[in-house]
Amino acid sequence: MKNIIHIISMKRGLGGVQQSFLSYYKFAQHSSRYKHYIFSNHEVSKNYGYLRNFFKIQKNFFTFLKHIISKNSIIYLHNKLPSKKIFYLLKLLPTNNNIIFAESGTAWNIKTQDQIEIYKKNADLAKQIIVCSIATKHMLVKRFKINAKKIKLIYNGQEDPLIKKKNSKKKKLNIGFIGRLETIKGAHLFIEAANLLKKKNLIFWIAGDGDLEKELKEISKGNKNVNFIGNVKNPFDFIKNLDILVVPSIREPLGLVSIEAGLCKVPVIASNIDGIPEVISNKHSGILINPTRKINLKKYNNQKSLPNFVINPNNQKLVKPKELDPKILSKSILLLSKNKILRLKYGLKLYQHVRKRFSIKSYFKGIEDLYEQF
């Protein structure tokens, strides 16, 4: 039996990469033909609970090296293509052509030529690169000139929590945002739209934490309908109580949160950028809005996370990032809030789509079939 050695950081509390991996890893524990291990530089976040076969690299370094060079191990690196440490490690050790890299978003963070070179060198060492979306594949091919034949699309999978929506006669609708409070996630646009709707019968909920929390609370002052609730342990517990989820991202390789909303049958209003349209079809399973507003670099302090390029899903070209116009976003929120039938329709269509394309079983099978090639 071959060993699958996952190298991934489980330190962060609300990362889509970690949540996706956790669903897969728990499923693989009882369904895989292989034995799985996790190696990380950090202790696992308490948010993820107990993980079987989890090892901290520093405490188990020689065991880690043995796996790297073993013919009986497949090395699966999650979001590690930009890592210099990984490059030097793999370059120095005989790895038996057993390297898989999974790319789920780090490609958008690359800014300097030095980073680009390391990224390309790590890609050269890989036997296979797994991407989470068509947009991610285009980013790798067009920006980093990586051979498309080495790239394999396997959509992330999520287990259906089988949530039953309750019929309620509440007077106010709940509009939500969940994610890291940093510029690229667009929480500032959500609040700007909420400020334009503060006289309406709507309550706005923000779940998550991050560098912009203080500034975001400042711009929401005077709007008693905006509520910050901090980090949430289980996204489904937050999303299932919403009437509309808003995903105003500036960049989003795929967008796990939209998949989670679909599994809750909650309609989504989102940016038409990168991989988001691979989850949501405009005016069929949600509302997509083209980003048209120039990003004001002086408005927020947290600008380091802004990408140099994003993927325009209409033509799959690299373009400079823009953000949603809050006026257009507010009009879409108001439109959907006034039409219960449309909300139910979009929620159901999104549920049917994500159940088919993003099931944990299809994701698991795609990964398992890939292992067979080693």
pLDDT tens digits for 307-330? 999 999 999 999 999 999 999 999
Overall average pLDDT of the 9-22 stretch: 74
Whether the CB-CB separation of 273 and 252 falls below 8 Å is answered with yes
Asked if pLDDT for residue 227 goes beyond 60, the answer is: yes
Q: State residue 50's pLDDT score.
A: 75
| Whole-number average pLDDT of the chain | 92
Strands 73-78 and 3-7: parallel
What count of other Cβ atoms lies within 10 Å of the Cβ of residue 18? Answer: 24
Q: Model pTM?
A: 0.93
Residue 151's Cβ-count burial label (10 Å; 0-12, 13-18, 19+) is buried
Instruction: Extract the tokens encoding 156.
Output: 């992330």
Residue 321 sits at the vertex; the CA angle it makes with 274 and 128, to the nearest 5 degrees, is 40
Give the residue ranges of DSSP H helices in the chain.
Answer: 16-31, 61-69, 84-92, 113-125, 134-144, 187-196, 213-219, 235-239, 256-263, 326-337, 340-357, 360-371
Is it the case that residue 13 has pLDDT exceeding 60? no
Contact 225, 250 (CB under 8 A): no
Q: Confirm if 235 and 247 have CB atoms less than 8 A apart.
A: no
Confidence class for position 169, pLDDT limits 50, 70, 90: low
How confident is residue 43, by pLDDT bands cut at 50, 70 and 90?
confident
Top pLDDT among 115 and 165 is at 115
Q: Residue 321 has which token pair?
A: 């990032």
Reference 286, options 193, 328, 348; nearest CA is 348
| Residue 63 confidence (pLDDT) above 70 | yes
pLDDT band for position 12 (cuts 50, 70, 90): low
Go through the domains of the chain in sequence order and give each one's CATH number: 3-157+359-371 (3.40.50.2000), 173-357 (3.40.50.2000)
Q: Are 105 and 274 in contact (CB under 8 A)?
A: no
Percent of the chain with pLDDT over 70: 94
Residue whose entry in the numeric block shows the structure tokens 């927020």:
300
Confidence of residue 302 (pLDDT cuts 50, 70, 90): low
CA-to-CA separations, 308 to 106, 212, 239, 253, in angstroms, rounded: 12, 20, 31, 14
Relative to beta strand 310-312, strand 317-319 is antiparallel
Question: Does residue 28 carry a pLDDT above 80?
Answer: yes
Sheet of 3-7: strand order equals: 54-56, 35-40, 3-7, 73-78, 99-103, 128-131, 151-153
